[in-house]
């Protein structure tokens, strides 16, 4: 019987989440002191090094027979999952009114976390590692040391479930109103035919349980990521090997460019999934297919009623922000991606230009950059 109380969790979260981590960039230097301060309730071990010889750690807790493996920042510029894992650590230390929930999870499960798999990418704020390898496409070749670390732990732990934590771009939308895809889930495919195997059914049932809880608070902002099979991808290969893998993509909430609001929803989703796994009754996987597919109909900004002389008409101009690291800060630079009538798109913000004239889209780009 599910004991997760959304109000208790939300109240706890506002007071006790890991305050030392904030914003889009999380590096090893930021988490190192937090790892050192974890109490003996946790088992903390260095399990390898990155290409640039930065330590990679795992954190373990729990005594149950069901092993669950989590990893975050496989892509160095996707840090929401890392923040969420340290929020979970705080909950295990000080559960407050959530003690029954935490006891259920830790008595039935053993949890193994790799909080930051790609520290070199995190430092440079890039998707790839220091070799220029996308770790999420290195599950077969295992060219990167970070990929080999993950693969070694997988074989040692032999988890029944894995949680692969990512961030997705603002462009993803869900539903008829094209609201932002704040959280997206995926039960990865095991083959090109996208066969619904027994392992995928288990994975789908966990996602369906997380969705049931999460839609009580963000019902129209939960999406389903494409299940196209990628032969070299981590989740697809782990799923094929019998390690049921749940992909969570943290997306956008309105004005949430630090990804702090979505951090909370990701946290609640993980707890719901963990309780469901701890109870060990896997059913109702079919509601996974009720989660709408992601579309690409959301933008950071839309400028309405822009007159461009070179095409002699008024248009809407759609903008996405490109993230750049500058002096340890993340800068969001606007870039034009659409010049059209964008009535079927939604955006974080709108600006009515009231017919203001520009020579072409290049002069408009110059204006928004200055």
Residue 195 reports pLDDT greater than 80: yes
250 in Cβ contact with 168 (< 8 Å): yes
3-state secondary structure of 198: helix
Structure tokens at 356: 């203001």
The string of DSSP codes covering 80-137 is: HHHHHHHHHHHHHH--GGGHHHHHHHHHHEEEEEES-S-HHHHHHT-SS-TTS--GGG
85 in Cβ contact with 69 (< 8 Å): no
Q: What is the pLDDT of residue 3?
A: 80
Euclidean distance between CA atoms 242 and 244, whole angstroms: 6
Q: Domain 298-369 belongs to what topology?
A: Urease, subunit C; domain 1 (2.30.40)
Angstrom distances, CA of residue 46 to CA of 116, 150, 250, 264: 12, 12, 27, 28
Euclidean distance between CA atoms 308 and 244, whole angstroms: 52
Residue 354 reports pLDDT greater than 90: yes
What are the domain boundaries of the chain? 6-290, 298-369
Contacts of 265 (CB under 8 A, 6+ apart): 182, 183, 214, 217, 218, 253
Euclidean distance between CA atoms 103 and 100, whole angstroms: 5
Average pLDDT over residues 176-196: 97
Angstrom distances, CA of residue 277 to CA of 106, 141, 267, 274, 341: 11, 31, 16, 5, 46
Over residues 268-278, the pLDDT tens digits come to: 999 999 999 99
Q: Distance between the two ends of the chain, CA-based, in angstroms?
A: 56
Q: What is the pLDDT of residue 25?
A: 98
Residue 156 reports pLDDT greater than 70: yes
Average pLDDT over residues 111-136: 98
Average pLDDT over residues 197-206: 98
3-state secondary structure of 225: coil
Percent of the chain with pLDDT over 90: 98
Which CATH architecture is the domain 6-290 placed in? 3-Layer(aba) Sandwich (3.40)
Contacts of 230 (CB under 8 A, 6+ apart): 137, 236
Euclidean distance between CA atoms 2 and 323, whole angstroms: 40
185 in Cβ contact with 172 (< 8 Å): no
Residue 1 reports pLDDT greater than 90: no
- Residue 69: phi, psi to the nearest 5? -110, 130
172 in Cβ contact with 182 (< 8 Å): no
Over residues 13-61, the pLDDT tens digits come to: 999 999 999 999 999 999 999 999 999 999 999 999 999 999 999 999 9
pLDDT band at 107 (very low <50, low <70, confident <90, very high): very high
- Identify which has the larger pLDDT, 134 or 2: 134
Over residues 58-67, the pLDDT tens digits come to: 999 999 999 9
How many other C-beta atoms can be found within 10 angstroms of the C-beta atom of residue 195? Answer: 10
Q: What is the pLDDT of residue 148?
A: 98
- Residue 354: phi, psi to the nearest 5? 55, 40
Average pLDDT over residues 308-334: 96
Average pLDDT of the chain, as a whole number = 97
pLDDT band at 220 (very low <50, low <70, confident <90, very high): very high
């Amino acid at each position: 019987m599910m004991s997760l109380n959304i109000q208790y969790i939300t109240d706890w979260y506002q007071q006790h989440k890991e305050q030392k981590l904030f914003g889009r960039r999380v590096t090893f230097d930021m988490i190192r002191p937090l790892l050192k301060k974890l109490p003996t309730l946790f088992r903390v071990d260095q399990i390898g090094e990155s290409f640039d010889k930065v330590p990679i750690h795992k954190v373990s807790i729990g005594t149950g027979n069901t092993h669950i493996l989590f990893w975050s920042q496989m892509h160095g510029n996707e840090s929401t999952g890392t923040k969420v894992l340290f929020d979970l650590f705080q909950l295990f230390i000080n559960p407050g009114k959530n003690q029954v929930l935490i006891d259920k999870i830790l008595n039935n499960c053993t949890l193994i976390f790799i909080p930051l798999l790609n520290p070199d990418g995190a430092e440079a704020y890039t998707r790839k590692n220091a070799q220029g390898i996308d770790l999420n496409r290195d599950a077969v070749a295992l060219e990167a040391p970070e990929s080999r670390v993950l693969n070694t732990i997988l074989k040692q732990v032999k988890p029944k479930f894995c949680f692969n934590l990512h961030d997705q771009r603002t462009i993803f939308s869900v539903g008829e109103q094209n609201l932002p895809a704040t959280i997206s889930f995926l039960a990865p495919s095991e083959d090109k035919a996208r066969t619904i195997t027994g392992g995928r059914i288990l994975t789908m049932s966990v996602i369906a349980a997380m969705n049931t809880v999460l839609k009580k608070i963000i019902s129209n902002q939960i999406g389903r990521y494409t299940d196209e099979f990628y032969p070299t991808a981590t989740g697809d290969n782990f799923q094929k090997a019998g390690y049921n893998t749940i992909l969570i993509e943290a997306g956008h909430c309105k004005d949430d460019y630090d990804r702090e609001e979505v951090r909370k929803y990701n946290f609640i989703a993980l707890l719901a999934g963990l309780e469901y796994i701890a109870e060990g009754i896997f059913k109702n996987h079919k509601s996974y297919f009720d989660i709408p597919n992601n579309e690409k109909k959301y933008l950071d900004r839309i400028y309405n009623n822009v007159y461009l002389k070179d095409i002699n008409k008024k248009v809407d101009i759609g903008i996405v922000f490109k993230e750049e690291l500058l002096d340890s800060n993340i800068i969001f630079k606007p870039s034009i991606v659409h010049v059209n009538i964008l009535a079927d798109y939604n955006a974080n913000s709108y600006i009515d230009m009231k017919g203001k004239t520009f020579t072409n889209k290049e002069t408009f780009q110059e204006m928004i950059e200055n």
